[in-house]
Amino acid sequence: MFDALVESVLADKRQAVQQAKEEARQEWERALRERERAWQEQERVIRQERERAVLQEWERAWQEQEQEKQEGARRLKQMGISPDIIAAGFGLSLEEIERL
């Protein structure tokens, strides 16, 4: 009878240990999934910031190019070059050249 009691207690302990192991495994997997989601979100944010930076750089370069075109056209206009020639050379409209 004592042996049966010991065996029953040991079986309960084994079951409790197995249950604790399973709970620990599930918690570890949950934490791993959370970390993975956090990493993916970080990657998404970094990718968006890179794209935004590239777009800002393109916009800045385009604005600089437009300013350089207008400055060149302005100089040629001051030199008395025909607006038609300036328009053809810089890709500006005659109205844009007149505003310079």
Low-confidence ranges of the chain (pLDDT < 70): none
Which residue is listed with tokens 């810089």?
Answer: 90
* Predicted local distance difference test score (pLDDT) of residue 63: 96
pLDDT for 18 equals: 96
The structure's pTM equals 0.57
Q: Can you give the pLDDT at residue 100?
A: 84
Q: What angle do CA 10, 11, 14 make, to 5 degrees?
A: 85
Looking at residue 16, its pLDDT comes to 93
C-alpha atoms less than 13 angstroms from C-alpha of 39 in its C-beta half-sphere: 6
- Enter the tokens of residue 14: 């084994």
Q: 39: which 2 tokens?
A: 């990493």
> Domain coordinates of the chain in residue numbers?
2-99
pLDDT at residue 7 in the model: 85
Instruction: Report whether 87 contacts 93 (CB < 8 A).
Output: yes
Residue matched to tokens 């916009």:
59
